[in-house]
């Protein structure tokens, strides 16, 4: 792969897992239970792009753009600075009421006119609100959006919720099959606490590690400890 075709995620440790980075124009789904770090992951991905001069768009389904910005600030990632420079854009209030989507035309137009290179969709629940009672329409809705973003050559990172993630018995969701890449974030119980772990389930057309890695959240966001084995799994070795 040529250097210009590779995108650095900006998550310390992740590009190493991907042996350099990910292919541009791919779609990646970051999936996990509540509080596992999906939004922080998204913020870092966009921040890294802006830092490299690549315009990014944050589409937020449930939180306000102002909440995302102050969340990022609390991690030491100043998105507002890049917003002022025209390198980061937000799209919020997608629903007129709780179910009626205004349009995905607005974010798609922003992607084209602002030459957006990185798109965040946080999260896919957007499509659940729209097609909750029709699984085929749900899949088709997501696929349509994926193909519209792909046409612009932007790289898409979406988040999705899981209510349960047992690594010994994973039940996959329909959207897991639709994206080029799939990353699971989880908290695995170890004694009286939990340990954060990450694994890359798939990345079509690219070699990557399939290990489970421990990660931490702190100033700057997520940091993956690629040289460590999760404590929670230590006994198995
Ligand atoms: N500044 C910080 N320092 C350390 N840990 C933090 C910090 N900010 C957040 N966290 C941890 O990160 C977790 C949340 O991460 P995040 O908001 O990305 O989760 P999420 O997967 O998007 O959750 P949800 O599904 O509810 O949207 C918090 O529950 C907290 O444990
Ligand atoms: Mg979130």
Q: What is the pLDDT of residues 59-92, one digit of tens each?
A: 999 899 999 999 999 999 999 999 999 999 999 9
According to the model, what pLDDT value does residue 93 have? 80
The H or E element containing residue 148 is: helix 135-151
pLDDT at 132 exceeding the cut of 90:
no
Ligand 1 geometric centre to CA of 35 (Å)? 5
CATH architecture of the domain with range 3-236: 3-Layer(aba) Sandwich (3.40)
End-to-end CA distance of the chain: 35
List of E strands, the chain: 6-7, 22-23, 27-32, 56-60, 88-91, 118-122, 155-161, 181-190, 193-203, 213-218, 221-224
Which has more pLDDT, 130 or 47?
Answer: 47
Ligand 2 geometric centre to CA of 1 (Å)? 32
pLDDT at 159 exceeding the cut of 90:
yes
According to the model, what pLDDT value does residue 98 have? 65
Q: Among candidates 99, 105, 177, 176, which has minimal Cα distance to 132?
A: 99
According to the model, what pLDDT value does residue 1 have? 65
According to the model, what pLDDT value does residue 13 have? 98
Q: What average pLDDT does the segment 35-46 reach?
A: 98
Ligand 2 geometric centre to CA of 14 (Å)? 19
Tens digit of pLDDT for each residue in 86-112?
A: 999 999 988 777 666 777 889 999 999
Tens digit of pLDDT for each residue in 167-210?
A: 999 999 999 999 999 999 999 998 899 999 999 999 999 999 99
Q: Among candidates 169, 157, 222, 165, which has minimal Cα distance to 188?
A: 165
According to the model, what pLDDT value does residue 236 have? 61
In Å, how far are 100, 122, 172 from 159, measured between CA atoms?
A: 21, 5, 14
pLDDT at 23 exceeding the cut of 70:
yes
Residue 160 CA to residue 149 CA, distance in Å, equals 18
Ligand 2 geometric centre to CA of 39 (Å)? 4
Which has more pLDDT, 216 or 131?
Answer: 216
Sign of CA dihedral 84, 87, 88, 94: positive
User: What's this model's pTM, rounded to 2 decimal places?
Assistant: 0.96
Which has more pLDDT, 131 or 159?
Answer: 159
Q: What average pLDDT does the segment 123-135 reach?
A: 88
Confidence category of residue 131, pLDDT binned at 50, 70, 90? confident
Q: Among candidates 186, 227, 182, which has minimal Cα distance to 13?
A: 227
The per-residue pLDDT of the chain, averaged, comes to 94
pLDDT at 237 exceeding the cut of 60:
no
Confidence category of residue 211, pLDDT binned at 50, 70, 90? very high
Q: Which of 11, 29, 39 to mutate to test the pocket of ligand 1 (most atoms within 8 A of CB)?
A: 39
What does the radius of gyration of the chain's CA atoms come to, in whole angstroms?
Answer: 17
CA torsion, ordered 150, 8, 119, 166, to nearest 10 deg: 90
DSSP states along 193-220: EEEEEEEEEEETTS------EEEEEETT
Q: Is 37 in the pocket of ligand 1 (CB under 6 A)?
A: yes
């Amino acid at each position: 792969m040529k250097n210009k075709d590779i995108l650095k995620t900006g998550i310390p440790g992740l590009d190493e897992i991907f042996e350099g980075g990910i292919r541009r124009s791919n779609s990646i789904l970051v999936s996990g239970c509540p509080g596992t770090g999906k939004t922080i992951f998204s913020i870092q991905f966009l921040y890294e792009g802006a830092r490299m001069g690549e315009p990014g768009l944050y589409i937020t389904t449930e939180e306000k753009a102002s909440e995302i910005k102050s969340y990022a600030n609390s991690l030491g990632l100043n998105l507002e600075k890049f917003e002022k420079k025209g390198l980061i854009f937000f799209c919020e209030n997608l629903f007129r009421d709780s179910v009626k989507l205004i349009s995905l035309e607005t974010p798609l137009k922003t992607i084209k006119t602002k030459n957006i290179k990185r798109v965040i969709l946080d999260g896919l629940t957007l499509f659940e609100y729209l097609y909750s009672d029709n699984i085929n329409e749900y899949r088709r809705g997501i696929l349509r959006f994926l193909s519209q973003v792909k046409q612009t050559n932007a790289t898409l990172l979406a988040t999705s919720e899981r209510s349960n993630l047992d690594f010994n018995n994973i039940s996959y969701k329909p959207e897991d099959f639709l994206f080029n890449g799939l990353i699971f974030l989880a908290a695995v119980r170890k004694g009286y606490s939990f340990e954060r772990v990450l694994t890359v389930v798939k990345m079509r057309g690219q070699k990557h590690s399939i290990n489970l890695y421990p990660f931490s959240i702190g100033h700057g966001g997520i940091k993956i400890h690629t040289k460590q084995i999760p404590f929670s799994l230590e006994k198995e070795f």
